[in-house]
């Protein structure tokens, strides 16, 4: 990672700003821009959400008003299931977007393979016109070596002025020692994860199961076989119905308040509605109405968003 930062010259500002979809594509752009221009001024990845916190245009307009930015690069989603790669109509396809951008005066490569060539061509043209003054090359800052790698390389045996070399390197700031986390139940300092004194390899070798692992993490000890089996039985019974849903939560609160079983159960049942327990019916009504109205998914989502209504459904939210 640090080698890549140095190779991409991210330790000093260049003249090119970019905005992309994902961190992976940002990494590619850092590399491409550093090889074809004087480097990156700023880069942002907006993420693959349907409604991201910021858009490509937000950052393009911001870059436009930034004095140090002389050239702007935009890299959208790649149509192979990449983050944000969703086209619900012809105007949202990559071909349509590229055509519209080209007609408006944007430099658009024919393929990703030509992106670097186009960036270099535009950059050199701007330099020739005097609009860009290439940034001065400065020596990169000293990058600390990884602690374990440094110790393995030096073997801690060479002595200089009665002081091991690795200690001298540490004092000069040339060795970076990674942070180690340790609690009363989990130790991550060594080469192997340890749960309450039990190496993770032994956890698998002895096949103590989920109940045994929870015993180590919760009770900091090896629990008997019957206790491990009981924990696993509880997980199987409650796997689909945790204590955080409305009905279970209200029932627990009433029971802890000293109410009888029937009253506690009833308080939980009273919470059943469109948001809990009845979401399937509400979802069916919503989707059926949208289908009967001839709405495409994007129009349906935008309509519900505009009305400030939640789209009901069963399961976990994905990219919402």
On whether the CB atoms of residues 37 and 119 are closer than 8 A, the answer is: yes
- Partnered with residue 43 across adjacent β-strands are 18
- Put residue 76 in one of left, alpha, beta given phi > 0 → left and psi -120 to 50 → alpha: beta
| Angle formed by the axes of helices 115-128 and 23-36, nearest 10° | 50
Q: Would you tell me how many other CB atoms lie within 10 Å of the CB of residue 225?
A: 12
- What CA–CA distances, in Å, run from 142 to 41, 150, 160, 172, 174? 21, 15, 22, 10, 7
| CA atoms in the 13 A half-sphere facing the CB of 85 | 11
Residue 317 C-alpha from the chain's centroid: 16
What gap in Å lies between CA 267 and CA 245, rounded to an integer?
13
Residue 316 falls in the annotated catalytic set: no
What the block records as the tokens of 45 is 């990845």
Catalytic residue, from 59, 82, 241, 249: name it: 82
**DSSP letters for 249-270:** HHHHHHHHTT--HHHHHHHHHT
CB hemisphere CA count around 255 (13 angstroms): 12
Q: CA distances (Å), 308 to each of 296, 301, 304, 311, 315, in order?
A: 18, 10, 6, 10, 21
State the distance between the two ends of the chain, measured CA to CA, in whole angstroms. 30
Which residues are known catalytic residues?
82
């Amino acid at each position: 990672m640090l080698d890549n930062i140095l190779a991409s010259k991210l330790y000093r500002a260049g003249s090119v700003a970019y905005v992309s979809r994902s961190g992976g594509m940002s990494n590619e752009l850092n590399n491409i821009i550093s090889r074809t221009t004087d480097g990156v001024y700023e880069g942002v990845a907006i993420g693959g959400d349907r409604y991201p916190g910021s858009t490509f245009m937000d950052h393009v307009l911001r870059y436009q008003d930034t004095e140090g930015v002389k050239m702007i690069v935009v890299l959208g989603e790649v149509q192979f299931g990449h983050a944000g790669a969703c086209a619900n109509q012809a105007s949202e396809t990559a071909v349509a977007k590229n055509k519209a951008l080209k007609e408006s005066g944007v430099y658009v490569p024919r393929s990703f393979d030509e992106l670097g060539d186009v960036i270099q061509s535009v950059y050199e043209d701007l330099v020739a016109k005097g609009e860009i003054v290439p940034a001065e090359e400065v020596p990169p800052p000293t990058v600390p070596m990884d602690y374990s790698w440094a110790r393995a390389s030096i073997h801690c045996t060479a002595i200089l002025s009665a002081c091991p070399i690795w200690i001298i390197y540490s004092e000069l700031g040339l060795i970076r020692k990674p942070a180690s986390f340790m609690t009363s139940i989990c130790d991550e300092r060594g080469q192997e994860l340890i749960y309450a004194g039990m190496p993770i390899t032994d956890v698998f070798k002895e096949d103590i199961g989920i109940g045994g692992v929870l015993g180590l993490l919760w009770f900091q000890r090896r629990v008997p076989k019957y206790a491990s089996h009981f924990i696993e039985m509880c997980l199987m019974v409650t796997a689909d119905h945790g204590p955080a849903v409305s009905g279970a939560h209200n029932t627990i609160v009433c029971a802890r308040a000293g109410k009888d079983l029937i009253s506690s159960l009833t308080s939980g049942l009273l919470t059943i509605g469109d948001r809990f327990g009845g979401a399937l019916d509400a979802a069916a009504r919503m989707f059926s109405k949208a289908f009967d109205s001839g709405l495409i998914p994007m129009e349906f989502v935008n309509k519900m968003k505009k009305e400030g209504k939640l789209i009901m459904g069963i399961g976990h939210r994905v990219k919402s």
